[in-house]
Structure 1
């Protein structure tokens, strides 16, 4: 009997390894090994103007070059990235929550409206950038054409408006994503607390504040986590729309990494160091939000 149980155990483990193995191998090849290589290159002097065999180990010199201010564009790009992340995530959360609450009610044509809501998510970032670049055009763009009836003309991609413009594009494309996450959370909420609140005569504002928000905190944290990380590392939409310009008005850290490594200088070592900084930013942010998510789940279990 013991032998049979042991054989069954090892057979089950064998099938487990069979199914999980490809995923682990893919993770190692696509994520872990490139990350290790990135760390290694960040400690070297390698650039595109030299052969790989001529690289030298420079320790923390690349990181010092960035953090000490010798790279004058590094800290401004960090600030722009943080502004982009905070503003876009906050607005997307507010609009997404409002849309989710709207769809959570009975309404005519809900399926049609939800299908329309998904359209921005189906468009690739490169196409989104091209489409909005045409719409933002000061001479023949559709936005200024409409504003022209009010006697208004805006240079959307000027140095003073460029960051706002790319944030608007991000909001347009990713607010539906936040709305869908929060809508799924609203659909999964138990109805008993709402029925009890109706008996107690609670107002809509009280129901939202004391029932909906506390129960939705895990889903809110997930939505903010996913959008914050994605906003920190966004590249393609902003590059296609402004290429980081005018000047450095929209040069996010991800674009600065690209410019360091491939566009101007070819400093792969310094570019890798900047990529490590971005990796650390996203790791710290995700760790903090995941801990908050864990606390929310524990609080929910306590209730």
Structure 2
């Protein structure tokens, strides 16, 4: 019973409050008795394009989710396959893989912001030594890509460890049977490894998709959504609407509700896909 109360206080009550505020005209600094219900006006404003940054932020967030999840899954597969063999210092490699995951995202953002610095950052220092050139990593042309690279760096080990755990649990018999039948490594990977890993992989993709959609810390520290709106993910747009510039808490709440709905729809879709996997057919 106490756990139910804690869950209600931490999740259910704030969610109900978020939905309620999204139907009001509440602004930061306004007395609570001055706000009143205005129906769907905040949502109409968003969907009608009156908030010119909203759809841009939606597109930026969805593209970020797709790219981050794809590259983290692909790179995670490569790392997991490399780990799925015996070599010296393997335990040290595992320890190193845990480091990016365990660092606080805000610290990750600050660390990479220093490395991305155009004048004294270590990345441009190396670029200068090797190619005699410098790149403005957090400028308009590269800010989005730079933010994406940080997310890939931090969460590829997460995908790699999950995929490695799945590969390690696959029995040897299917591979032995495939080898007897003349299957090569690519065919074994396609028809044995991938089907057996599908449930675990779907779950990992679900986690990363939801997490990348609500990403806030790293882009906030790196760019604060800039330059301009180059990296203004939907979570940063909510922050800017509600607290950073305008104080339109009600409009920010409406945007937050839409973000919550997008995440819920995506998670339900991926969960249904996961449930459809009744087992691999080999």
**TM-score for both structures, normalised by structure 2:** 0.97
Q: Structure 1 residue 80 and structure 2 residue 63: aligned?
A: no
| Cα displacement (A) at 1:272 | 0.3
| Cα displacement (A) at 1:22 | 3.0
Structure 2 matches for 1:94-173, cutoff 5 A? Answer: 94-149=74-129, 150-173=131-154
| Cα displacement (A) at 1:243 | 0.4
Q: Secondary structure at the match of 1:108?
A: coil
| CA distance in structure 1 between the partners assigned to 2:4 and 2:82 by the alignment | 41
CA deviation map 1:247-294 (0-9, x unaligned):
110000000000100111111111000000000010000000000100
Equivalent position of 2:198 in the other structure: 217
| CA distance in structure 2 between the partners assigned to 1:119 and 1:49 by the alignment | 41
| Cα displacement (A) at 1:25 | 2.0
| Cα displacement (A) at 1:109 | 1.6
**TM-score for both structures, normalised by structure 1:** 0.90
CA deviation map 1:221-269 (0-9, x unaligned):
1111100100000001110010000011000000000010011111111
| Cα displacement (A) at 1:60 | 0.4
Equivalent position of 1:93 in the other structure: 73
| Cα displacement (A) at 1:133 | 0.5
| Cα displacement (A) at 1:23 | 2.7
Equivalent position of 1:193 in the other structure: 174
Equivalent position of 2:32 in the other structure: 52
| Cα displacement (A) at 1:61 | 0.3
Structure 2 matches for 1:24-35, cutoff 5 A? Answer: 24-35=4-15
CA deviation map 1:70-105 (0-9, x unaligned):
111111111111111111110000000111111122
| CA distance in structure 2 between the partners assigned to 1:108 and 1:299 by the alignment | 35
Equivalent position of 1:287 in the other structure: 268
Structure 2 matches for 1:8-23, cutoff 5 A? Answer: 21-23=1-3
Equivalent position of 1:181 in the other structure: 162
Q: For structure 1, list consecutive stretches of 5 or more residues without a partner in the other structure.
A: 1-20
| Cα displacement (A) at 1:188 | 1.6
Question: Which is greater in Rg?
Answer: 1
Equivalent position of 1:8 in the other structure: none
| CA distance in structure 1 between the partners assigned to 2:257 and 2:172 by the alignment | 46
Equivalent position of 1:62 in the other structure: 42
Among 227, 247, 251, the alignment partner of 1:266 is: 247
Among 221, 246, 250, the alignment partner of 2:227 is: 246
| Cα displacement (A) at 1:166 | 0.3
Q: For structure 2, list consecutive stretches of 5 or more residues without a partner in the other structure.
A: none
Is contact 2:196-2:279 (8 Å) kept? no
Deviation larger for 180-189 or 235-244: 180-189
